[in-house]
Structure 1
């Protein structure tokens, strides 16, 4: 637990680094351009499709009619746009995570390594191609888990548990691999992940709940629809900073664990060396016990 908290506060401090803040704007710019581009071409069609889909549910229409009688008829006009935004949120989160993993994580791992572990050997157990394939494979599994679990989101307690757990699992899978890719061998990475799996998963879940914070913007209803051009970039930047923090947290944690594991391995080898030498006969003893040469 001490390693968990120590790496947490170090990650918070590193998030204030000017380079980290400046670099966080790159995924933000890309995601804002992508979001507004897709919104420009597909927003009206998506809202119309959702409204026609909602019209088929008589129970929902009765509920909206009851809200109109209570004087809350404006909710009908924002219900479909809000639902489109809620459905688009997982795609935004996944895109932010992948962009941070591709553009920010290598820099942040290098920043942590140079400032705290300059003498740590780089065994390069993970290549760029392996990192991309690992991230894409983990993302596909997370998307599948989200789709399968969506019916359970209708149960109020589960909607607060399942999505953060899935985001946490994905965060742990992606950033634990990337943080160790340059410095650890394949065997060392497997050993660290296996030994600290519960701590790494807990770190991912905490980051998953932090990543769910921007979704609270959707709860502002009509206010959010009116301020969407301003609030969407803010939400995307918060997602980016959360995943940047996650990358730094995993980097501090895993590189410290790797350094300790190598130090322990070197200590064990040093302790076993004298015992091995004590069992081997010295050169003088060997020469005295040589059999006489035959002529």
Structure 2
């Protein structure tokens, strides 16, 4: 058997010919702060998006296309939290780092699916903003609840359909090199590198997924905003221009948050000759955890209806606490 010593982790005796598990890792250099990192992120990760969903569900005046797409975004963020938090908390709070291969592949499937679903939702929101600004009179008749539901179903099928073959390809590979994964959760490139066989098919399929989803979505989102800008510039009134652009600010911020970190990581990996592995890992954590935390904050600040309702919830909560205290 092969013994794998890891700093801060007990040694594992695993058989290299048929290992039954992978080993998860925390954030290098921040092991002492794992507990303090996990607790606030877990709270904001779930509470913020749950609050957005609650407000949209309970307020009938918010049952409009823009807010329905926002609820889809919150659902994908909650899906990410459900997929990543169990293993992250087991590593950060209890130092439990073993994960079975089948469990790892299942987690990988859901993490990757929800990530790529979020990209699709951002694309749908960009087209929604274009239709609202370019065809305001036809917006209500074209963006119906049934059509939005069909878009949501298509997003789910696209995200899951792309990653089922990816998991099948990984499942067929033999894993004989016992090395720790880079994160406290399972990601496609990370698991693929653990295989002790030819990973060319998996590598090419991974690239296909990235270019056909994230790459294509980012291009289409950019084209949508080019057309939005052309439409806004054709408006004669400055007040109407600002009003139209203001409806896009939240979506632009969220889209930049989603894409800027992976693009930065990709540039660092390709153009910096001596890249610190620790910085790459930290950027990956930020991409996966920071975006779902900041998305509800951005929309709460920039969307007047949601902000007012959330403030009212907290005011009612404070009033009830005072009454209970008496």
TM-score by length of 2: 0.30
Larger relative contact order (C-alpha < 8 A, sep ≥ 6)?
1
Hey, which of these two has a bigger chunk of helix by percent? 1
TM-score, length-scaled by structure 1: 0.32
